[in-house]
Structure 1
Amino acid sequence: MNETMVCAVGRVATQPVYREMASGPSARFRLAVTARYWDREKNTWTDGHTNFFTVWANRQLATNTAASLTVGEPVIVQGRLKVRTDVREGQSWTSADIDAVAIGHDLAWGTAAFRRASKAETAPSSTQPEPHWETPPEGSPEPAQPAASAPALT
């Protein structure tokens, strides 16, 4: 099967939202991926454009994602890229999703201690309010959301 596999390195932009579905656990979060480049004129690293992806995790990966990730943490996500466009009420919108196969902390920014999840571990008990997941149509104002500040990469 021809699928577009990607590896995205970025920061967790929203707290993972965990749900128990009929097909099993599911979690999703927004990933901010900012290009960085060396600006020779300023002699410093400079942030470029930021892309946002909705990352979807299923089954045990969903449970571990919800228990392990918080906003601002550097992560590496590998999975299938799904880009969708749609027209609703005359407005077109595009979403870029990653159906995750693997998610891990980026150890270039810190350390982590792996611990195997036991079968008895359950999903996170706290539920978060449902965030707005769609990319707004071009030219429309951003929907009001709580600010999720991610530390700048330096």
Structure 2
Amino acid sequence: MNDTMVTLVGNAATAVEHRQTATGVPVARFRLAATPRRWDRARERWTDGDTSFFTVKAWRALADHVAASVTVGEPLMVQGRLRVREGEQPADRGGQRWLAAEVEAVAIGHDLTRGTAAFRRASPRARIEPQAGEDGGKSGELSPDWSTGGGAWRKASPPSPVPDAGGGGSGGAAEVAAGVADEAAARAAEGAAEREAPEGVAVG
């Protein structure tokens, strides 16, 4: 399958929703508002275009880092795979058809044309571990507990240098392979849930 890779520039429109699958795979989601700026020759000034909203999803280590780094309103750059979904709500919910644009992120960072940020390298074991009792459900189930992260974004003067915490790569190949099936099941569960309550635009 061919993927459509996109790079979006915008602002975090919602708080980051952060959770884990029943087997401990981290998942994060938030809405990104992207408003283009255009030069109005008649008025000789910049004007805002129409705002587009995207659902951004991140998995595993990226999900943990987004939850710890991003807050509402911060300017971001997001790169990832674009998915445009459409469907129809059940008849008892109005039966409206809808369209939803979402990006499965591979990289997320602050837009440094708007301010400064301090980078902190993650240690190999920095990702959130599953809490006791969370592995009791079926593979791919999503744990009901959510948390909101807080960022270190600054619009004013540059922050003091942060020492490199060290630590190199991500875990071994066996650890990565072990989580692939769980992640795939969680993605399927997310898709099924969102067909019932999509974050999209009604099209009639």
TM-score w.r.t. structure 1 length? 0.80
**CA offsets, 1:88-146, max 9 Å, x none?**
222101110000000000101011110012224648x9735xxx75124246xxxxxxx
Matched with 2:28 is 27
Matched with 2:77 is 76
Paired letter, 1:102:
A
How many matched pairs? Answer: 135
Question: Within the alignment, does 1:127 sit opposite 2:147 as a pair?
Answer: yes
Matched with 2:16 is 16
Paired letter, 2:36:
A
1:54–1:133 Cα contact (<8 Å) kept: no
Map of 1:29-44 to 2, 5 A cutoff?
A: 29-44=30-45
Question: Within the alignment, does 1:61 sit opposite 2:126 as a pair?
Answer: no
Deviation at 1:62, TM superposition (A): 0.1
Once residues 28 and 120 of structure 1 are traced to their aligned partners in structure 2, the CA distance between those partners, rounded to angstroms, is 19
Question: Within the alignment, does 1:5 sit opposite 2:5 as a pair?
Answer: yes
Paired letter, 1:9:
V
Distance 1:135 1:126, change over 3 A: closer
Is the partner of 1:49 in helix, strand or coil?
Answer: coil
Matched with 1:143 is none
Once residues 114 and 77 of structure 1 are traced to their aligned partners in structure 2, the CA distance between those partners, rounded to angstroms, is 17
Matched with 1:142 is none
More helix by share: 2
Unmatched tracts of structure 1, length 5 or more: 140-154
Is the partner of 1:115 in helix, strand or coil?
Answer: coil
Q: 2:117 aligns with which of 107, 112, 121?
A: 112
2:99–2:203 Cα contact (<8 Å) kept: no
Matched with 2:103 is 98
2:61–2:127 Cα contact (<8 Å) kept: no
Deviation at 1:65, TM superposition (A): 0.2
Once residues 4 and 121 of structure 1 are traced to their aligned partners in structure 2, the CA distance between those partners, rounded to angstroms, is 28
Q: Percent identity?
A: 56
Deviation at 1:40, TM superposition (A): 1.1
More strand by share: 1
Once residues 120 and 134 of structure 1 are traced to their aligned partners in structure 2, the CA distance between those partners, rounded to angstroms, is 31
